[in-house]
Amino acid sequence: MMKKRLVALALMLLALLVSTVLVQAQEVSQFEEELHYFSIIPEQPGGEGDRVQVVEFFWYACPHCYQLEPHLNKWLEKKPDNVDYVSIPAMFNRPNVIMHAKTFYALKLMGLAEQLHDKIFSAIHTDNMKLNTQEEMESFLASQDVDIEAYRKAMKSFAVQTQARRAAVLAERFDIRGVPAIVVDGKYRTGGLEGNLMMQVTDYLIDRAREEKGAKSQQ
């Protein structure tokens, strides 16, 4: 009788072990390269030491970027401490895209980016405002009590011009062809996915980048 119980217990433990392995295998393989994410070739610099860098590329007039925002903001609230997050505006060769990018950096220089970032998205996608020219953008910013002369000065500043050029260079290095796109540690890029799924893939790539950093440090 005791022998039968031991055999039954052993079988139960074996079944549990197999089940756990299968679940872990499913978790590891649930995201596929070339479908959910892409490798960046050649690899670009990522976070320093054991830190992992996450870079989001966006454009204010992009509806998919707007749809990603609530998922991204929720993710940022619980972002791991060793993950460094950076937002970079798209710099595609179109006047309104470039103006939006420089506006982001100008507002950042003025200390207003965090306050107005979501409001610009909402103005375009919820209020159906056309912010395709600097004049239209100035009209909106004036309604938000922004000093327009200071904004114009910031738009022409060396700092904003430099940051805009750097954004264009990084987009080329990361092979950014559309937005929203998220680059993890200079190695992996995801995009073109539903917002919640895109952030799940981002977490998966962060874990993968961590493991690779750990393996490299042990060599």
> What is the band of 208 on the pLDDT scale with cuts at 50, 70, 90?
very high
Q: Is 195 in the same domain as 165?
A: yes
Q: Among residues of the chain, what percentage have pLDDT more than 70?
A: 84
Q: Is 26 in the same domain as 46?
A: no
Q: Is 15 in the same domain as 106?
A: no
CA 140, CA 104: separation in Å to the nearest integer? Answer: 14
Domain count, the chain: 2
Each residue's pLDDT tens digit, 162-200: 999 999 999 999 999 999 999 999 999 999 999 999 999
Q: Is 12 in the same domain as 103?
A: no
Domain that holds residue 75: 33-217
3-state helix vs strand vs coil in the chain, percent to 5: 60, 10, 30
Would you list the DSSP string of 72-133? HHHHHHT--TTEEEEEEE---SSHHHHHHHHHHHHHHHTT-HHHHHHHHHHHHHTS-----S
Q: Is 95 in the same domain as 19?
A: no
Q: Is 14 in the same domain as 121?
A: no
What CATH number should be reported for the domain holding residue 204? 3.40.30.10
pTM reported for the whole predicted model: 0.84
Q: Is 72 in the same domain as 121?
A: yes
Q: Is 19 in the same domain as 47?
A: no
Q: Is 73 in the same domain as 17?
A: no
Could you tell me which of 43, 57, 34, 18 has the C-alpha nearest to residue 182? Answer: 57
- Sole residue written with tokens 């070739």: 41
> What is the band of 133 on the pLDDT scale with cuts at 50, 70, 90?
very high
Q: Check residue 20 and give its pLDDT.
A: 45
Q: 27 or 189, which is more confident?
A: 189
Q: Is 21 in the same domain as 86?
A: no
The mean pLDDT of the chain is 90
Decide if pLDDT at 1 tops 80.
no
Q: Is 20 in the same domain as 100?
A: no
Q: Is 161 in the same domain as 124?
A: yes
Q: What is the mean pLDDT of residues 135-152?
A: 99
